Chains A and B, each alone.
Chain A
Amino acid sequence: MNLIQRIAAGLAIAAVSTGLLASPEDDLKAFQGFFHKRFPDVSNAELGNGVYAIDPVGRANWEAIEEFPPYEPMIDQGHEMWDKPFANGKHYKDCLPDGPALGKEFPHWDKKSGRVVTLPLALNECREVNGEKPLPYNKGKLASLLAYLAFESRGQLIDVKIPKDDPRALEAYEKGKHFYFARRGQLNFSCATCHMQSTGMRIRSEILSPALGQATHWPVYRSKWGELGTLHRRFGGCNKNVRAKAFPAQSEEYRDLEYFLTYMSNGLPLNGPAARK
């Protein structure tokens, strides 16, 4: 974390604790309230379907795709990975005993390591503890494993917590929030420029999806990719689209961003994996 971020986060924590700045609970109310006003006829659960909640033509196309989900073979592959023991005879379940339906437990603040832990990070750390090589984060086998875990987690409600007994958790949340609203790249866009301010409008031929619900359905089979990809792959793609340098998947920047963005979707049902254009 650079000096500016440290100072900004420190000031933010002081401001929240003295009531000068909105708390995460206030933010959640404002964030979700914005979309309820913008799309008054669309429920929270529907917003988990992304742009297909607000684009009837795209939705018809998407529903046809979902009749034969392109991610189905990856769920099966992920299931096999979950059940297959490591070389030492242990399983993922030895690290993550509540699995495979782990969706609602991530991301979470880990007080011991002082960082946001995401599900892909926990899976790879489980592999390393058991003598296995970590898997690439953006796509491939790890995405398939995530697809199985997401499928098993369908229907769970997002319930990300910002523990009050560790100010570093609020700091991580504030950093993620700052990332979301800061303009970046040569095009000078923030995440919010497209997915809040301009949501429902067109960018070229595409309708911009609402931010609320964007954390519910990962990993995603994107037709553009022709394969399954993870949330952090999408973060990187968005950053490149606005001509900013992308951060690595599972970097502190993207884990904090995921922490904020998922917290903003608290109360929405998990519905991954999903298909998107």
Chain B
Amino acid sequence: MRGVMLTITLMLVGCATTALAGQPEYQKALADAKAAQKKAASVDGEWRDVGKLIKQAEAAAAKKEYDTALKLADEAKAQGELGYAQAMSQKNAGFPSYVK
């Protein structure tokens, strides 16, 4: 009997650990994504879908789907960083050579 109880306890702990696996990584990725979004917005470089990706990541995390949430947060972070880099690359934009 004691053996059975121990087995069940170990199984439950295992399931919980599996469900929460990825949560710390997701939380860091989400914080990074929000920081990247803010940085891109500070130079008017935010892309259209960054906010949507962050919301989708949060919705997935609420359902404890951390693998999905992590992927979405990573994509949001990447788009935030690219938007910032793009805006910086365009800071001297003006009349192109084909106009003059």
Binds B, one of A110-118, A150-158, A238-246: A238-246
**Cβ-closest chain B residue relative to A5:** B44
Q: Which of A1-54 contact B (CB under 8 A)?
A: 2, 4-5, 8, 22, 27, 30-31, 34
Q: Which of B28-84 contact A (CB under 8 A)?
A: 41-51, 79, 82
Asked if A186 meets B79 with Cβ closer than 8 Å, knowing A34-B99, A181-B96, A196-B99, the reply is yes
**Cβ-closest chain A residue relative to B100:** A30
CB distance from A92 to the nearest CB of B (A): 33
Q: How large is the interface on A (under 10, 10 to 19, 20 to 34, 35 or more residues)?
A: 20 to 34
Asked if A183 meets B93 with Cβ closer than 8 Å, knowing A5-B44, A30-B100, A196-B99, the reply is yes
CA distance in complex: A22, B100 (Å)? 11
**Cβ contact within 8 Å between A188 and B86:** yes
**Cβ contact within 8 Å between B90 and A182:** yes
**Cβ contact within 8 Å between B42 and A186:** no
**Cβ-closest chain B residue relative to A243:** B48
A22 — which chain B residues lie within 8 A by C-beta? 95
Encode A238-256 as 1/0 by CB contact (under 8 A) with B.
0110011111000001000
CB distance from A50 to the nearest CB of B (A): 20
Q: Does A177 contact B (CB under 8 A)?
A: yes
**Cβ contact within 8 Å between A197 and B96:** yes
**Cβ contact within 8 Å between B87 and A184:** yes
B89 — which chain A residues lie within 8 A by C-beta? 183
Q: Does A190 contact B (CB under 8 A)?
A: yes
**Cβ contact within 8 Å between A184 and B45:** yes
**Cβ-closest chain A residue relative to B98:** A197
CA distance in complex: A177, B79 (Å)? 25
Q: Does B3 contact A (CB under 8 A)?
A: no
CB distance from B99 to the nearest CB of A (A): 5
**Most chain A Cβ neighbours within 10 Å, of B89, B92, B94:** B94
**Cβ-closest chain A residue relative to B40:** A245
**Cβ contact within 8 Å between B48 and A240:** yes
CA distance in complex: A134, B38 (Å)? 29
**Cβ contact within 8 Å between B47 and A185:** yes
CB distance from B2 to the nearest CB of A (A): 59
A141 — which chain B residues lie within 8 A by C-beta? none
Partner of A245, one of B41, B90, B91, B94: B41
Q: Does A192 contact B (CB under 8 A)?
A: yes
Q: Which of A101-120 contact B (CB under 8 A)?
A: none
Q: Does A222 contact B (CB under 8 A)?
A: no
CA distance in complex: A27, B82 (Å)? 30
18 contacts between A and B (CB under 8 A): A8-B91, A27-B95, A30-B95, A30-B100, A178-B94, A182-B90, A182-B93, A184-B45, A186-B47, A186-B48, A192-B99, A196-B98, A197-B96, A243-B47, A243-B48, A244-B46, A244-B48, A245-B48
Binding site for A on B (CB under 8 A): 41-51, 79, 82, 86-96, 98-100
A184-B45, A245-B48, A245-B50 given; 16 more Cβ-contact pairs under 8 Å = A2-B44, A8-B92, A31-B99, A34-B98, A181-B93, A181-B95, A183-B93, A184-B44, A184-B87, A184-B90, A196-B96, A243-B47, A243-B49, A245-B41, A246-B48, A253-B44
Binding site for B on A (CB under 8 A): 2, 4-5, 8, 22, 27, 30-31, 34, 177-178, 181-186, 188, 190, 192, 196-197, 239-240, 243-247, 253
